[in-house]
Amino acid sequence: MKIMRLKIMINLLLITFLSLFLFVGNALYAGENKNIYEITDFNSLIDNINNSNGNVELKIKGDIPITETIIIPKDKNIILSGDGTLVRDNGFVSSEPTLISIEKGGSLTIDGITIDGNNIPVHFSHEKGSLVDCKGTFKLEKGKLYRSVSSGYWSSTINISGSDAEMIMNGGSIENNTVANTDISGNATQYCGIVGVYKGGRFELNNGSINDNILDINDTMNTAAVYVTPEFFGSSSADSYFKMTGGEILNNAANFGAVLVGTAGQPSYKNEAHFTMDGGIIKGNKSVTAIGSGTNPAGGYGGGVMVNVSGNFTLNKGTISNNTSRMGAGVCVNDGYVSHGAMDGGIDHNAWINQFHCPGSFTMNGGTIETNISKNYILGDDGCGGGVYVSSNKVVLNGGVIQNNKAERQGGGIYVGSVPYLLKMNDVVITENNADFGGGLWFCPTGTVEIAVKNGGAVFDNAAKTAGDDFMGENKSEEEQKKYYAYLSSRMLGGGKTTWYEDSENARFKETENPIEMSETNKNMPVKENIYLHSKASQGAKDLANKEKKLIIKNNEATKGGGVGSNGAIKIGQRDNDELSLRVEKSFADDYPDNLKPDIIKIYLTIDGVKVDHI
């Protein structure tokens, strides 16, 4: 009996062991909560996915030609690992040329393999991905997705679509892909990205790189390396989200550069898109004018980040650098109120923002925007806003660094495009910027500026080649003077005193023996003629301002407005109308000698030990 029982047990073990190898592919071992198989051909890959029970890891060996779409069904959790390659075959026969489709409720993890589009041009009818189309969960841990060539409306290299769809990128690269107009009908390819996030999808970039991709600027429009847009055509409420905590978006070329958040065409009117940057690098991207060139070009805005109409962008940490565009090379913000005709149509601005979901918002709490360049192609506002371009009422700059940017025309660091837009800045130092006119700040006839002391600003040590080291305001007509003005405080951020002096072409401050002090501070000043000013403050006052600053705008360059230029309004800090009266009485002891009593007594106001004023 013992011998028979032993034989039965051995036979059962053999059957169990053999069944692992009879299951399609070579079973390596059963890991915790998943089985692991080695895959060397397409049929075994498909069979293992379809026959898996829950979790399975498939180790890809060698190059495996893909002849039809790989589908990751609902309730399947598939990991593709190893060092092999899944490559698009010339004989690919599926109705839609997507290499991998992840259904709602399905999950795919890429952990080491390469997905190769093989540079074979494909075209999509609508809302598909050439390499990956995701309605479920897609994770990229390590590996490479590259050499896709695709075209079509609302179709990206990697398509993340729907409120149940998410992509998490913890490593690897998405590189050397192309979106170009391969559609033989001649229709323009647009509303596409290398990673496209649509209809409530979510994308989280923690590590890895999206680099060296081209969204062909010659025959595409409304494209970006990462394209984030909300539910647009349907009736459901579905905001889309992109969160970046690390990783890199490098050296991509598209109609809107590295990232577009919002809507490229008409507004959604119901939903919004959101981008939060908590780390990482957006560098070396180009936003270039596409079809429709000449007097009516398409795109070319926001080399780093384009926030358009239904978009929201919050920058907390990270770097946006070395990007190039026509305007807003670092960040370009547009709420569409002017460009989409809402203002001319009589729509209230607040209604446009709130009821029609067109905020076009940008909040900067930290991070760095540096060494970006806005190029002048002599069209519209080309060459304006090297660091940041503003056509929105929802831009607030609270902290961070905007430095070493260049605009070939106006606003090296920041430019406000037009009336009725208002930029708000708090706790800012504007220093060491350079321009021909208005080294620190420059304002056109429709520009308005308020520089207050409470959570306000300090402007000093800027330089202008021709006039207005720290400030220039262009003359306004009598009608314009009723609406547009300059309010310059006599005190800076931190409480130190500043004195504004004339610094015109014919009376430069540094070359005038007795410079003229401007007395119209701390009130709304009509600009009847060009005003050129130099700000003079003590080193102690500058030190106080630098101690209190949270935002710095420095070493930027433009023809007009090296630090900041504006065709609209800028408000720095808040006016503090509370006045404090202090009565001081000096008494001497009765026996104090009269000959020792001074004729004049100076009483100094100090902040943190720094003398900022005296009476």
Residue of 143, 82, 73 lying closest to 108 (CA atoms): 73
Please give the Cα distance from 282 to 88 (Å, whole number).
30
In one-letter notation, the amino acid at residue 121 is P
Is there a cis peptide before residue 97, judged by omega within 30 degrees of 0?
A: no
SS3 for 206? Answer: strand
Determine the pLDDT at residue 361: 97
Is there a cis peptide before residue 598, judged by omega within 30 degrees of 0?
A: no
Q: What pTM value is reported for the model? A: 0.91
Contact 204, 243 (CB under 8 A): yes
Determine the pLDDT at residue 438: 97
List the Cα angle 194/277/265 in 5-degree steps: 50
Determine the pLDDT at residue 143: 98
In one-letter notation, the amino acid at residue 615 is I
162: left (phi over 0), alpha (psi -120 to 50) or beta: left
In one-letter notation, the amino acid at residue 168 is I
Determine the pLDDT at residue 72: 97
Contact 582, 458 (CB under 8 A): no
Which structure tokens are listed for 156? 């990206």
Please give the Cα distance from 422 to 417 (Å, whole number).
10
Please give the Cα distance from 114 to 120 (Å, whole number).
16
At residue 262, φ and ψ (nearest 5 deg) are 130, -140
Which structure tokens are listed for 574? 């808040």
SS3 for 561? Answer: coil
Determine the pLDDT at residue 298: 58
Please give the Cα distance from 529 to 220 (Å, whole number).
46
Q: What contacts 412, CB < 8 A, 6 or more positions away?
A: 386, 387, 405, 406, 433, 434, 435, 556, 557, 558, 561, 562, 563, 565
Express each pLDDT in 412-471 by its tens digit: 999 999 889 999 999 999 999 999 999 999 998 777 888 888 899 999 999 999 999 999
Please give the Cα distance from 106 to 76 (Å, whole number).
5
Please give the Cα distance from 390 to 404 (Å, whole number).
18
Give the position of tokens 């029982």.
5
* Rg of the chain, C-alpha, whole Å: 31
Contact 372, 384 (CB under 8 A): no
Residue 580 CB-density burial (10 A; 0-12 exposed, 13-18 middle, 19+ buried): exposed
At residue 425, φ and ψ (nearest 5 deg) are -130, 145
Task: Count other C-beta atoms under 10 Å from residue 583's C-beta.
Answer: 4
The 8-class DSSP code of residue 516 comes to P
List the Cα angle 286/210/274 in 5-degree steps: 80
Residues, the chain:
615
Please give the Cα distance from 246 to 411 (Å, whole number).
29
At residue 573, φ and ψ (nearest 5 deg) are 75, -170
Determine the pLDDT at residue 482: 62
Please give the Cα distance from 489 to 473 (Å, whole number).
15
Residue of 552, 448, 537, 560 lying closest to 491 (CA atoms): 537
Determine the pLDDT at residue 22: 37
Please give the Cα distance from 477 to 164 (Å, whole number).
56
Contact 258, 285 (CB under 8 A): yes
Kind plus residue range of the DSSP H or E element containing 481: helix 478-483
Please give the Cα distance from 454 to 173 (Å, whole number).
46
Please give the Cα distance from 372 to 375 (Å, whole number).
10
In one-letter notation, the amino acid at residue 231 is E
Residue of 466, 476, 561 lying closest to 506 (CA atoms): 466
Task: Count other C-beta atoms under 10 Å from residue 594's C-beta.
Answer: 6
**Residue ranges per structural domain of the chain:** 1-89, 117-401, 410-584
Q: What contacts 177, CB < 8 A, 6 or more positions away?
A: 117, 130, 131, 145, 146, 147, 148, 149, 150, 157, 194, 213, 214
Residue of 490, 486, 541 lying closest to 517 (CA atoms): 490
Averaged over successive runs of 10 residues, the pLDDT of the chain (615 residues) comes to 43 42 49 81 96 92 97 97 97 87 98 97 80 98 96 88 97 95 64 93 99 81 91 75 99 94 83 97 87 54 94 99 96 92 89 89 99 86 94 97 98 94 97 98 86 91 97 77 76 91 90 77 71 93 96 98 95 74 74 80 74 68
Residue of 21, 67, 16 lying closest to 41 (CA atoms): 67
Task: Count other C-beta atoms under 10 Å from residue 599's C-beta.
Answer: 4
